[in-house]
């Protein structure tokens, strides 16, 4: 996290770290996923194993959430991918939705909503509302940094949704940026 936060970390390294931390977080996020028995043919004989019982869908919040997707998929390579486009109005800090595309059967299994930053909670709240409107009930939110204000908003709006954060930072400033934070994750990830 220290390298990710450092202002001197170049985009290439920022993307790598973003993916690596996201992959590590998946172990905890998936801990309670339902599994089912399956048969496996080894080179010597048949045996029993376990596999996920329901399909997993990963939904990055565009655009910064894309930086976490490869890390999550490295642990869940069979996951399907949806997309929710929400950007923050810089003057009002309110979410502006511009795109939603989900697998038709996303509600049949767990949905992992990924976005590196949980600041005010506006974008996450909006995206979770879209997922719940689509029938998704087993949703989990994964972020790298969270501000107390965003956590409180999600706990109020979507109390059933667990939040997985690599770090809980101190506060939001008057512009609604997380402190100590890491800057704009999308800009740092994509070099803009």
How confident is the prediction for the chain on average, in pLDDT? 93
Q: In this predicted structure, what is the pLDDT of residue 191? A: 79
Whether 92 is catalytic: yes
- What's this model's pTM, rounded to 2 decimal places? 0.90
**Contact status, residue 116 vs residue 15, Cβ threshold 8 Å:** no
- Please tell me which residue in 89, 105, 173, 187 is annotated as part of the active site: 187
Q: In this predicted structure, what is the pLDDT of residue 97? A: 87
Instruction: Tell me the per-residue pLDDT of 122-136, one tens digit each, with 9 for 90 and over.
Output: 999 999 999 999 999
Instruction: Tell me the per-residue pLDDT of 13-34, one tens digit each, with 9 for 90 and over.
Output: 999 999 999 999 999 999 989 9
- Please tell me which residue in 35, 47, 50, 92 is annotated as part of the active site: 92
Domains along the sequence of the chain with CATH: 2-190 (3.40.50.2020)
Whether 173 is catalytic: no
**Contact status, residue 43 vs residue 96, Cβ threshold 8 Å:** no
Q: In this predicted structure, what is the pLDDT of residue 85? A: 94
Which residues partner with 113 through β-bridges? 59, 141
- Please tell me which residue in 5, 16, 54, 184 is annotated as part of the active site: 184
Instruction: Tell me the per-residue pLDDT of 43-63, one tens digit each, with 9 for 90 and over.
Output: 999 999 999 999 999 999 998
**Contact status, residue 142 vs residue 18, Cβ threshold 8 Å:** no
**The pLDDT of residue 90 is above 80:** no
Q: In this predicted structure, what is the pLDDT of residue 145? A: 95
Q: In this predicted structure, what is the pLDDT of residue 186? A: 85
- Please tell me which residue in 5, 80, 88, 100 is annotated as part of the active site: 88
Whether 139 is catalytic: no
Instruction: Tell me the per-residue pLDDT of 152-188, one tens digit each, with 9 for 90 and over.
Output: 999 999 999 999 999 999 999 998 899 999 988 888 8
- Residue written as token pair 């959430």: 65
**Contact status, residue 186 vs residue 64, Cβ threshold 8 Å:** yes
């Amino acid at each position: 996290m220290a390298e990710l936060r450092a202002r001197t970390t170049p985009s290439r390294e920022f993307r790598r770290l973003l993916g690596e931390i996201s992959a590590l977080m998946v172990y905890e996020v998936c801990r309670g996923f339902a599994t089912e028995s399956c048969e496996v043919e080894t080179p010597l004989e048949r045996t029993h194993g376990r596999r996920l019982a329901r399909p997993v869908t990963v939904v990055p919040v565009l655009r910064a959430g894309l930086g976490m997707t490869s890390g999550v998929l490295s642990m869940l390579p069979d996951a399907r991918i949806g997309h929710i486009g929400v950007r923050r109005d810089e003057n009002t800090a309110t979410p502006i939705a511009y795109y939603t595309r989900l697998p038709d059967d996303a509600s049949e299994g767990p949905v992992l909503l990924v976005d590196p930053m949980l600041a005010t909670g506006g974008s996450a709240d909006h995206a979770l509302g879209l997922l719940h409107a689509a029938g998704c009930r087993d949703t989990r939110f994964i972020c790298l940094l969270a501000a107390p204000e965003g956590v409180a908003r999600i706990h109020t709006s979507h109390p059933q949704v667990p939040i997985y954060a690599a770090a809980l930072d101190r506060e939001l400033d008057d512009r609604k940026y997380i402190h100590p934070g890491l800057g704009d994750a999308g800009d740092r990830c994509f070099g803009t």
